[in-house]
Amino acid sequence: MTPKERASLAEQLLTNPLFAEVFDTLERAAIEGMIYAKDDETRHRAAMRVQEARSFRQDCEAMLRNTQGPKVAVA
């Protein structure tokens, strides 16, 4: 897959209302899980879910901006 194809697919995800709704719902549920957690372990797992949802969304946004090919290390 070329960088431009990847950017195009990332744009389709980010502009899809269902994508936004699903990730907003996941994030809200995880935040509520943090707030109402009965112990630290449960709170920690919920915090990780929030971070993962946000990280995935940010990764899609980064792919949208990055249309250059991958960097190759020179030995």
Q: For the chain of 75 residues, list the mean pLDDT of each consecutive stretch of 10.
A: 83 88 93 96 96 88 69 55
DSSP state at residue 71 = P
Q: Domain ranges in the chain? A: 3-65
| The pLDDT value given to residue 7 | 82
| The pLDDT value given to residue 14 | 83
For 31, the token pair is 């935040």
For 49, the token pair is 């879910």
Residues 6+ apart with CB under 8 A from 70: 3
* Measured distance CA(14)–CA(60) in Å, rounded: 7
Whether pTM > 0.85 for this model: the answer is: no
